[in-house]
Structure 1
Amino acid sequence: MALTHFHNGAIWLGASNEPADSLLVREGVIVAVGAADVDRLLGSSSSEHSPASSKECPIDSIDLEGGFLMPSFGDGHAHPIFGGLEAEGPQVRSCVSVAEIVAEVQRFAEANPDIEWVTGASYDGSLVEGGLFDARWLDEAVSDRPVVLRAWDYHTVWCNSRALELAGITAGTPQPELGEIPRRGDGSPLGTLREWGAVDLVDAVRPPLDEAMRLRALERAADYYLERGVTWVQDAWVEPADVETYIAASTQGRLRLRFNLALYADPRRFTEQLPSMVEARRRVEELADPLLSAKTVKFFADGVVENETGSLLEPYCSSLHNHGLRVWEGETLAEAVRAVDAAGFQVHIHAIGDAAVRQALDAVESAITTNGPRDRRPVIAHAQLVASEDLARFAELGIIANMQPLWAQLDDLMTVLTVPRLGEDRAREQYRMRSILDDGGRLAFGSDWPCTSGTPVEGLAIGTSRQNDEGEPADGWTPEEIVDIDRALDAYSTAVAHQAFADDSSAVWGEIRPGASADLIRFDRDPRELTPRELAVTAVRTTYLGGTAVHSSI
């Protein structure tokens, strides 16, 4: 029976506990924590040295060399297939101007003459005022084939004229339900499409992605995450085709970390969706794959502030009447949440603006009142703007705030697109992570990758400093919302495991304690002792899933 002994380093046991100095793993499960218990289990009388190997019980002795061992990271809100697909098209992510994007699209199209539709992601929406990109700019690169690029927010696309033509989007096309078609002065479509109702017009005529490409994307996402110490991911936007990809990956043995699927609820066809969601969950459960579950339903309550579709209690600064987009009108969100809650699903609601957050809180409260008590662990994702009177409701209702710490900084996205739309006073009330914790609420972290980086240490660096890459402001932006490093580490590990129900399952993970799966990460340096700039670039040395090293930088 193989044993693995970790020693000579700080073994982090959570925000409220002192680190241990020794850890023993047997067949992927933690069996002892602390030198005394490790030595007792091995029948040793000394704790001053690591146990020696024997033929009867070989021991893999891992010297941490003064480093740091902790539960592996989880990503409580991300889009792994989207992320993996970004490598399949023109590489526009790093482009810093429209000209660079156009040149890259042209390069890709010329190198791939047989591709019917040129698709890619994700461009920086702050490069153009208002995030409004013109189809004619892409026409300069490709005019005979459709081109569709997703913006970084994944709520917006930029098309060339050929794509608009094939989608039937003209000056006479009415504004769609749950979407917007920005127009030129003469009424013709500009080339930017916002939110699902508009984007769906193009998606309806695009050929489906090849399944082999989708499986490659999922494996590429696994490589990305394991390198960064992430062993569980909440896929927070799962369509029927994605379910098939995950099931295929499972049956082919191609899943290499844990995934939970959040099945997307569309207000335009929710009634017909719910039976399909129940069936998708049944099919996933039938696989009995410990790396795959489908416990969750994803709702969008609104869009995003950057294109003025985030739903606000008070109007945007640009208009006395524009409060943003409310995806579910009237009581429909509460009705749908009650239905999926009654079906035993976990609720996961995207809510950016303070009006959307309040609507989400009300919907969860309605489900609790109607369906009665149970361990439901509802999630409100992003919670970018929360009214002060609503902060305590997260704790009162047992709602997990899944927030993206990387967003809590004065970067170009914030200063160019967000602050002008919210105004200075309201902008300072964003990402109130510390307030939710101090009110007794639960805070779990996610990345929203590929919208932004899926590297947890980068998010930790921002969440614990509220400073941008230039180290500004010196005391941090809204410094009262800074989260200390121990609670930040917890939010990216144990708290995400709680969101995943991992502490209430047959295969516990996300904690370092006897009986838990040895899902661990090793750093060469203690992240609690690093400056934010150092933390942002520190690499995960080894990632373990069930005690097996699934990534190593050694």
Structure 2
Amino acid sequence: MQRTKHARRLLAVVAGLWLPWLMAAPAQAAPADLIVRNGSIYTVQGKSTWAEAFAVRDGRYVAVGSNAEVGKLAGPRTRVIDLHGAMAMPGINDVHSHPLDGAYEDLYACNFPPFSTLEQVLARVADCAARAEPGDWVVGAAWSNTLMAEISTPAALAALDRASAGHPVLLRDESFHNRWANSEAMKRAGITAASVDPAGGIIVKDPASGQPTGLFKEFPAFLALERQVPPRTQARQLAAAQAAGATLNGVGITGVQDAFSSESTLRIWSQLDRGPGLPLHMVASLSTMPGADPAERSGLALADQREQYRGPNLRPDFAKVFLDGVPPARTAEFLQPYLPDAEHGAHFHGKSNYTQAQLVELLAAFDKRGIPVKLHATGDGSVRLALDAIAEVRKRNGMPGARHQIAHASFIADSDLPRFRQLGVSADISPMIWYPTGLGIATAMAIGQERAAHIFPILDLTRAGVLVAGGSDWPAGQPTPNPWLGIEGLVTRRDPSGAIPGALWPEQAVDLATALRIYTLNSAQAMGLGKETGSIEVGKSADFIVLDKNLFKIPAAQVHTATVQQTFFRGRKVFPKD
């Protein structure tokens, strides 16, 4: 009996010593769903920027490291991908795109290359008109801004009327800010010599006759035309949305910010997300302008109802405000005047769509709701206006506030560079004019070659500690969302295609690591997704791509030739489809 009691006491002591340790000891980790091994894996950020392998469970990274370390999570049902040394990296995050428009135009529009001559544009319109059904509109893109003076004439309008064979025609430019319409389209919209310029828009007229030439600058000017175009059908919209996802995945994009989302666009994204599911992270920028459908909500009214559209992969978290237009149309606001011309004289700076007081009130309302705003500002005058207004909002609502974006931030005064960081503002930059392009040539025609050459001070922004994020602006500027063109342009400041020679402000080039960070983690942070994606780190969504070449082992001028072999979103392969 005594021995039994002693044994019980001894067991109790042992249990008291070991039970807490046993309870605290970690359980054996569950096997991974997926292991990717034996690769050159560029993580962008983490304990190391390079790894051999990583493991994924329930759509998230659970281990990143060596083959041996990660291999411990293999189980009988774990899928293993052997990269055989290939490069993998986080999926691309595109901070500025119009994916629904881009895909819709690819599928249904009368498209032509942005470097087309006027004769080539007219030939393409004639071809589309010949195949159109009675009553159809010919809607297409994208004419070059270098043609602006050439098409703004009665002779060009007459030529467009002949090519259209009686169909109404509406063609957009490469910047998305201007339209060219024929006489039939203007007739249906009720646009005549008596029509007056709406606020924020210009109906260009012939100086001799006073008649509209068919050229319309900025959205308010061509809104009446857009409202006459037959609305896109639901079936076509859904087909375009699915095509957009496939196109973006195919070039390695796993996160995108729709830079201008009307309520009808939100409905399409929401329907797709709640049905088959979006194959990427989608951040929407809610329109603050009236749409083609007068019944649609916009601005604060839409923002206050945005939760009804939120889904597993759709975040209606931003708003979009246009401060100005584009330099080639002289609708961007500059601190120094444009080159003299007959229409504007010698001291024209351009004009913003808002006074500072108006902008402060609008921004403060969104900021108070916790909604960041993407502010379109291409001239250094409108960039300064944006920063001045945000500074006032910070005083009113407090720091840090919502992280607003200035898009495209093309031209920035030196004294305004550090203000981006001081005010917590992201610089949203687009690749269409990082290197010599037609838009750049058209800009030089408006402000002069010397000023036009000093565009996108990327290196200065990064040295100032600014969060610089990369986007495509697809389909504006370029007919593809391919990020590798922009990434190469950041490093070389040259046209990857070689079509336009020379380098554009080569002193502002950045290294490849910086360029990749701009397009991955930086864009994710600017979009409000920095804790969710943008790097290969434990806990984040398993959004990654596999490339056909190691970008760090090829000349910078070959980066644009990189091909995406596989794209994974939340640990699931979305390209190519199995």
Name the TM-score, length of structure 2 as normaliser. 0.87
Maintained 8 Å contact 1:410/1:467: yes
Q: Which runs of 5+ in 1 are unaligned?
A: 43-50
- Rg (Cα) greater in structure: 2
Instruction: Read off the aligned partner of 2:126 and give its amino acid letter.
Output: Q
Judging changes above 3 Å, is the alpha-carbon distance between structure 1 residues 95 and 141 closer, same or farther for their aligned structure 2 residues? farther
Q: Which residue of 2 aligns with 1:116?
A: 136
Change (3 A) 1:427 1:522: same
Distance change (3 Å), C-alpha of 1:155 and 1:389: same
Aligned equivalent of 1:79: 98
Corresponding residue of 1:470? 498
* Separation (CA, whole Å) in 1 of partners of 2:184 and 2:499: 44
Q: Structure 1: how far apart are the matches of 2:568 and 2:401?
A: 29
CA contact (8 A) 2:259 2:320 kept: yes
Cα distance per residue 1:152-172 (max 9 Å; x no partner): 111111111100111111112
Q: 2:53 is matched with which residue: 9, 12, 22?
A: 22
Q: Could you say which residue in structure 2 is the equivalent of 1:175?
A: 197
Further displaced range: 527-536 or 172-181: 527-536
Distance 2:429 2:184 in 1: 38
The answer as to 2:545 corresponding to 1:515 is no
Q: Equivalent pairs: percent with the same residue? A: 30
The equivalent of 1:346 in structure 2 is 372
CA distance in 2, matches of 1:109, 1:152: 21
Aligned counterpart in structure 1 of residue 286 of structure 2, from 254, 258, 263: 263
Counterpart contact for 1:315–1:322, Cα < 8 Å? yes
> 2 CA distance for matches of 1:386 and 1:94?
26
* Cα-to-partner distance string for 1:90-114 (whole Å, 9 max, x where unaligned): 1223672222222222222222314
Are 1:436 and 2:436 counterparts? Answer: no
Kept in 2: contact 1:75–1:496 (CA 8 A) = yes
Mean alpha-carbon deviation: is it higher for 125-134 or for 524-533? Answer: 125-134
Q: Does residue 327 of structure 1 match 2:353?
A: yes
Question: Matched residues in 1 for 2:200 and 2:500: separation?
Answer: 37
TM-score by length of 1: 0.91
- What is the distance in 1 between the residues matched to 2:514 and 2:150? 36
Within the alignment, does 1:7 sit opposite 2:26 as a pair?
A: no
Distance 2:191 2:322 in 1: 25
Residues 1:225 and 2:252 are matched in the alignment: no
Contact 1:76 1:446 survives alignment (8 Å):
yes
The structure-2 alpha-carbon separation of the partners of 1:266 and 1:329, relative to structure 1 and needing over 3 Å to count, comes to farther
Quote how far apart the aligned CAs of 1:472 are: 7.2
Q: How does 1:8-407 map to 2 (within 5 A)?
A: 8-14=38-44, 17-35=48-66, 38-39=69-70, 41-42=72-73, 57-86=76-105, 87-93=107-113, 96-127=116-147, 129=149, 132=152, 134-184=156-206, 185-266=208-289, 273-285=298-310, 289-318=311-340, 319-374=345-400, 376-407=402-433
Give unmatched runs, 5+ long, in structure 2. Answer: 1-30
Q: In the TM superposition, what is the alpha-carbon distance from 1:31 to its structure 2 partner?
A: 0.8
Range that drifts further, 323-332 or 395-404: 323-332
- Cα RMSD over matched residues? 2.3
8 Å CA contact 1:222–1:256 kept in 2: the answer is yes
Alignment deviations for residues 478-517 of structure 1 (CA, whole Å, 9 cap, x no partner): 122101100100110111111122234xxx2212111111
- CA distance in 2 between partners of 1:39 and 1:263 (Å): 42
Which whole-Å CA distance do the structure 2 matches of 1:306 and 1:64 have between them? 47
Structure 2: distance between partners of 1:18 and 1:89: 43
4+ aligned runs moved over 6 Å, structure 1:
471-474
Measure the CA separation in 2 of the matches of 1:322 and 1:277. 35
Rounded to whole Å, the distance in 1 between the matches of 2:464 and 2:151 is 36
Aligned equivalent of 2:511: 484
Distance in 2 (alpha carbons) for counterparts of 1:18 and 1:252: 37
Alignment match, 1:45 = none
Given that 2:370 and 2:401 are in contact with CA atoms closer than 8 Å, whether structure 1 keeps it comes out as no
The code of the aligned residue for 2:318 comes to T
- Are the aligned partners of 2:287 and 2:299 in contact in 1 as well (CA < 8 Å)? no
